[in-house]
Chains A and B, each alone.
Chain A
Amino acid sequence: MEGQSVEELLAKAEQDEAEKLQRITVHKELELEFDLGNLLASDRNPPTGLRCAGPTPEAELRALARDNTQLLINQLWQLPTERVEETIVARLPEPTTRLPREKPLPRPRPLTRWQQFARLKGIRPKKKTNLVWDEVSGQWRRRWGYQRARDDTKEWLIEVPGSADPLEDQFAKRIQAKKERVAKNELNRLRNLARAHKMQLPSAAGLHPTGHQSKEELGRAMQVAKVSTASVGRFQERLPKEKAPRGSGKKRKFQPLFGDFAAEKKNQLELLRVMNSKKPQLDVTRATNKQMREEDQEEAAKRRKMSQKGKRKGGRQGPGGKRKGGPPSQGGKRKGSLGGKMNSGPRGLGDKRKGQRPGGKRRK
């Protein structure tokens, strides 16, 4: 009896083993092709099971997917494993399938002016060494760049040439020449770039005084000069009878002709909804302007009071009081303040701070 039960147990164990193996072994006529680097398994078996499945092949598809995934996982389990930070990790091999390009090929750039010239003349680049022997320092230095071999701006002794003005600073002249070369190089680089991207550079063509320029050119040059200050021409005075320039306002930008129709529709419906709702809507700009105006008035009133007190007390308190300013601004009444930036700090520190407040448009 025990022998029987032992045999039964063994048979059962064998049966279990077989079942397990059955679950993980899959029989396929053609072997699958694996690219483990991309976790890819390609099944070339003809899908006969799917064809005779009928209108709903879900069950067959699921079985097929399960089988193929099982085979892929079997392959993964055969990879060499290693331990990385308390986890066992299988190292995938290099992918063998070549994926197509993600982005299109870059289009060829137009040749720079030098490249065009070199091509025309047939000039090939001469191979030069990177390092040059520098006699002065007695070491090998690079041909160009930082600590280069023959840097004429670094010379400590320059002979004044016979034709030059004896009071001229030769060192400064060399440094100036270097700066000009660098600037010219930069300009050419930007021009090449602009040509490559078909953009326009802001240029100073026609703005240099030549002595025979027309009235319009002179006017244009004058306008450009006026605007080329640190404040973009805001504090440049005009001559007594000079008129304001035409066409110098901001150019209006409109929506594109066929932009997003859905967005346009949504905006219009929103506008209609706002119009139809009976409640008056809060206009943020006007609310903030109103608040600012009230604060200004309060401040002005306080200042007036302080100055009166100061006059009465004989100037003791006056300047100090004005400078220290009033109590900090109230934050409570701001209904529509934009973005929470409305807290102006201690007030009196600059009575003329009018233009610097963040928030809504000023004095609409």
Chain B
Amino acid sequence: MRPLTEEETRVMFEKIAKYIGENLQLLVDRPDGTYCFRLHNDRVYYVSEKIMKLAANISGDKLVSLGTCFGKFTKTHKFRLHVTALDYLAPYAKYKVWIKPGAEQSFLYGNHVLKSGLGRITENTSQYQGVVVYSMADIPLVSRDGSYYRTQVLFYSRRICFQSG
């Protein structure tokens, strides 16, 4: 377990900022406690300082996880966001997309969402913008592909597709 280096922090922040923008500083600087990012076995965990001090007592090879896993660094040092980060990203999302109940199930199983399945969308969403998908009951959703939920807004002629990948 170790803190992130400058380079790693930058890469991770760039990825997360695609979805939540400047609200990222609310994650870094929280009024209700000191939270920090720690790297363990290539995975980045967002954990409060108190829990981290307790976890420091566990040896590295026996420690499985701590706090919330935000994602992992791949072999070529790219950052992949994981579904477990959704709870922290959804409240701060800048661009949101609501999908109709009919398309919701399809999306959850990993398919694209067509324009007809689109319920609401925040205005000024540009193409290829990273968004967070919600159901009509304001529950953030993640597609079946599981470990990452990068969704982009692609505009094809006369259709808006949501590609989840």
Contacts and interface: CB of A to CB of B under 8 A. Distances in A.
A258 B52 contact: yes
Contact of B24 (A254, A255, A265, A272): A272
A275 B10 contact: yes
Interface of A: 254-259, 261, 264-265, 267-269, 271-272, 275-276
B53 interface: yes
B48 to A, nearest CB: 11
B138 interface: no
Interface residues of B, number: 22
Contact of A271 (B10, B22, B56): B10
What secondary structure prevails in chain A residues at the interface with B?
helix
B126 interface: no
B127 interface: no
A257 B2 contact: yes
Contact of A272 (B5, B28, B52, B53): B28
Interface string B26-55: 001100001010100000000001001100
B3 interface: yes
Contacts of A265: 28-29, 34
A254 B3 contact: yes
Contacts of A257: 1-3, 38, 52, 56
Given A271-B13, A272-B13, A272-B28, A258 B22 contact: no
A254 B2 contact: yes
A255 B2 CA distance: 7
Contacts of B1: 257
Given A254-B5, A272-B28, 14 more contacts: A255-B5, A257-B2, A257-B38, A259-B3, A264-B3, A265-B28, A265-B29, A265-B34, A271-B6, A271-B9, A272-B13, A272-B25, A275-B14, A275-B17
A269 B36 CA distance: 12
Contacts, number: 50
Contacts of A268: 9, 13, 28
Majority secondary structure, B binding face: helix
A43 B32 CA distance: 48
Contacts of A275: 10, 13-14, 17
Interface of B: 1-3, 5-6, 9-10, 13-14, 17, 22, 24-25, 28-29, 34, 36, 38, 49, 52-53, 56
Given A265-B34, A269-B25, A269-B28, A258 B13 contact: no
B69 to A, nearest CB: 18
Nearest to B34: A261
B28 to A, nearest CB: 5
29 contacts: A254-B5, A255-B3, A255-B5, A257-B2, A257-B3, A257-B38, A257-B52, A258-B52, A258-B53, A258-B56, A259-B3, A261-B34, A261-B36, A261-B49, A265-B28, A265-B29, A267-B9, A268-B9, A268-B13, A268-B28, A269-B25, A269-B29, A271-B6, A272-B13, A272-B24, A275-B10, A275-B14, A276-B17, A276-B22
Contacts of B14: 275
Contacts of B24: 272
A269 B28 CA distance: 7
A276 B94 CA distance: 15
A254 B7 CA distance: 12
Contacts of A255: 2-3, 5
Contacts of B9: 267-268, 271
Contact of A264 (B2, B10, B13, B36): B36
A271 B10 CA distance: 7
A134 to B, nearest CB: 66
B106 to A, nearest CB: 35
A106 to B, nearest CB: 32
A352 B82 CA distance: 52
A40 B57 CA distance: 50
A271 B25 CA distance: 10
B56 to A, nearest CB: 6
Contacts of B34: 261, 265
